Structure 1
Amino acid sequence: MASLQDIKRRIGSTKKTRQITSAMQMVSTAKLSQIQRSTTGYHEYAYRLKAVVSHLIEAHVLDNVDASHLPMVAKRPVKKTGLLIVTSDRGLVGSYNANIIKKTNALMKEQNLTPENTVILAIGGNGADFYKKRGFTVALEHRGISDVPTFNEVRKVLKTVISLYEAEAFDSLHLVYNHFINRLQADQRNVQLLPLTREVVEEAKMEEGEDGRDQSFKTSSAYDSEPDTTTVLNVVLPQYIQSLVFEALLDAKTAEHAASSTAMSSATDSADDLISTLGLQYNRARQSQITTEITEITGGMVALE
């Protein structure tokens, strides 16, 4: 049995750990509330932009454009597949990163992807480190995303993603990230981004549940382009892809803060349980020690009589 001093030391150590996890839980909860307040407006903007692109697709605007002047809609033989994965830079977020890795590996298995025909684009250190160790090419690695990301902060990353596709570093692009549902639940999503086709746009809408949104925003199915359709699409389509990625990043960051809050709450509860168990163990050991001391004193008095 551990000595009273050892038990007392473990109780003290566990109480200090509990203070840390409790503080981290409060910080993560505050960050979660902050990002939820800050991103409402952008979600509405992203929805409107996706509605415009969806109507462009419905109006068959993309059907007659010259793909050589609009690389984002050009279908190429898929020699390499790009996977844009969003993870956290740090741990202490429960199964947040493990779920993304699992979802990404399932996609790889489904499409027979290997280190030879796959290019990883990683936002967050966990994903980059995981696939680097397994021999995958990491063409983009971005760490240090702030707790409440801004578009200007990641603008360069988003442009790089599109530039790599246009330079044929990969021939199709999938986005894998955690979608925030509530404080206790997240859903791992896989959305194909490029090449941009009717099927890809419709799949993105279905994945994100856009059909249930307010349908008061309507757009005509007929379009007149000035100066010309290709020039307009070369502006609108990159904004659309950037919007999808940035919105997913905000969603993933929200899920990350929720996961961190939940993990720290569980750690705090576990510390409370351990402190209670150790306290009971300490009291029993102390009682046993007192009983032994009383027995020794009584034995000594009997010996003196």
Structure 2
Amino acid sequence: MAGIKEIRTKIKSVQNTRKITKAMEMVAASKMRKAQDRMRAGRPYAVKVRNMAAHLMQANPDYHHPYLTERESLKAVGVVVVTTDKGLCGGLNTNIMRLVLNKYSEFNAQGIKSQFTAFGNKGLGVLSRVGANVVTQEVGLGDMPQLDRLIGALKVQLDDFVEGKIDAVYLATNRFVNTMRQEPVFFRLLPLPGKLADPNTVFETPAQGVETPGENQSQYGWDYIYEPDAKSVIDELLQRYVEGVVYQAVAESMASEQSARMVAMKAASDNAKKVIGDLQLVYNKTRQAAITKEISEIVGGAAAV
């Protein structure tokens, strides 16, 4: 009977765990919808700002913004890593951090110094354990990205790039593809690619398409009336472009987090249901064997009398 009691206790424990995972699945599903709407709403902004910046640079080829300056060689780089603050979201953080650590090893092998900005507690923990140089961090971002909190941590990397302390800035995040699929991406944020034509610098969907600057150059040219002047407008627009890409990266990561957590919790709930079924089968067999044994003992005792 002791075995029956242990099995019953284990069944109760797994049932309680399944209630928790089911509740977390429902919460993640609710948050996922809002996060995906927020993420999709930001994609057209990133695309339009990119096109506007490309058109302005095309109209003013004489002005060269610091963000466009290519360095002769890479001696030091900055990496912005976007992860989640909480776990229980499958391999989402594992995949992006594996990619980041591989790039970190490549930089070290080439003698390139690296400094990191961590958005999210999980990435910060991994970078701290491997002894990486984390210059800025921002954790506890919640369910909605706030640009003012992101800019403070990002500004250190941008200022170091302008001052020449680092030669490039890279961004690592999870790109949301669909509910079942999230892709880790690692791409160069600064210096900005020529004509902003790098498809990895925004998170557009294939259906949106992105206008490649220069495609329609044979049909017409770009010209603008600036207020107050071209330099001020381009400086402000490129700054907004970089901030918009980072904001979109965080929004993509949050949408990926809720999707991955919903899928992971659903898998956990399904597995718990299967375990409960197996335990109940063992419980019934054990209980039946115990009853049969008791009946045999009673019959044997009666026969002996």
Q: Which TM-score bucket, shorter chain as reference?
A: 0.7 to 0.9
Residue 274 of structure 1 corresponds to which residue in structure 2?
Answer: 275
- Alpha-carbon shift at residue 162 of structure 1 (Å): 2.2
Q: 1-side partners of 2:249 and 2:211: how far apart?
A: 24
Q: Report deviation, 1:52.
A: 0.7
Residue in 2 that maps onto 1:175: 171
Query: Which residue of the partner structure matches residue 36 of structure 2?
Result: 36
In the other structure, the counterpart of 2:46 is 46
Instruction: Report the equivalent of 1:82.
Output: 78
Classify 1:207/1:35 alpha carbon distance in 2 versus 1 (closer, same or farther; 3 Å): closer
Question: 1:297 matched to which residue of 2?
Answer: 298
Superposition CA RMSD, Å = 2.7
Give the SS at the match of 1:190: strand
The percent of aligned pairs where both chains have the same amino acid is 29
Query: 1:149 is matched with which residue: 140, 145, 148?
Result: 145
- Whether the 8 Å contact between 1:115 and 1:136 is mirrored in structure 2 is no
Partner of 1:20: 20
Cα distance in 1 for residues equivalent to 2:136 and 2:210? 37
Contact 2:47-2:210 at 8 Å conserved across structures:
no
Query: Is 1:184–1:259's contact at 8 Å kept on the other side of the alignment?
Result: yes
**Partners of 2:254 and 2:189 in 1: CA distance:** 20
**Larger deviation, residues 35-44 vs 174-183:** 35-44
Q: Which runs of 5+ in 2 are unaligned?
A: none
Counterpart AA for 1:102: R
- Mapped partners of 1:115, 1:21: distance in 2: 46
- Deviation of the 1:43 alpha carbon: 2.4
Which segments of 5 or more consecutive residues in structure 1 lack a partner in the other structure?
A: none
Residues 215, 9 of structure 1: alpha-carbon distance in 2 compared, 3 angstrom cutoff: closer
Distance 1:79 1:20 in 2: 49
Partner SS, residue 179 of structure 1? strand
Equivalent in 135, 138, 143 of residue 134 of structure 2: 138
Deviates further, 282-291 or 182-191: 182-191
| Equivalent pair of 2:176/2:252 in contact (CA under 8 Å) | yes
CA distance in 2, matches of 1:283, 1:115: 64
Match of 2:161 in 1: 165
1:203 corresponds to which residue? 198
- Using the TM superposition, give the Cα deviation of residue 113 of structure 1 relative to its aligned residue in structure 2, in angstroms: 5.5
Distance 1:243 1:26 in 2: 30
- Give the letter aligned to residue 172 of structure 1: A
Residue 182 of structure 2 aligns to a residue whose secondary structure is: strand
Say whether residues 1:184 and 2:180 are aligned partners: yes
Letter aligned with residue 179 of structure 1: R
CA distance 1:227–1:179, change in 2 (3 Å): same
Separation in 1 of the partners of 2:70 and 2:243?
19
The separation in 1 between residues aligned to 2:2 and 2:111, in whole angstroms, is: 51
Residue 169 of structure 1: how far off its partner (Å): 4.2
Residue 211 (structure 2) pairs with residue 213 (structure 1): no
Taking the aligned partners of 1:39 and 1:118, their CA distance within structure 2 comes to 29
CA distance in 1 between partners of 2:209 and 2:89 (Å): 34
Matched, 1:288 2:284: no
| Distance change >3 Å, CA 10–CA 220, structure 1 → 2 | farther
**1:26-75 residue CA offsets vs partner (Å, 9 max, x unmatched):** 00110001122334433222221111123234x163x4225xxx432223
Question: Which amino acid in 2 is paired with 1:64?
Answer: D
Deviation at 1:188, TM superposition (A): 1.3
Provide the secondary structure at the position in 1 that maps to 2:117: strand
Among 63, 66, 70, the residue aligned to 1:71: 66
Q: State how far apart, in whole Å, the 2-side matches of 1:211 and 1:267 are.
A: 32
Task: Give secondary structure in 1 for the equivalent of 2:197.
Answer: helix
Residue 197 of structure 1 and its aligned partner are, at CA, apart by: 3.4
Secondary structure of the structure 2 residue equivalent to 1:145: coil
Equivalent residue for 2:265? Answer: 264
CA offsets per residue over residues 199-236 of structure 1, 9 Å max, x none? 7x212457745775267999952345444332222211
Matched residues in 1 for 2:82 and 2:210: separation?
Answer: 30
Question: Which one is further off, 122-131 or 277-286?
Answer: 122-131
Distance in 2 between the 1:107 and 1:121 partners? 15
Change (3 A) 1:264 1:2: farther
Q: Give the number of equivalent residue pairs.
A: 298
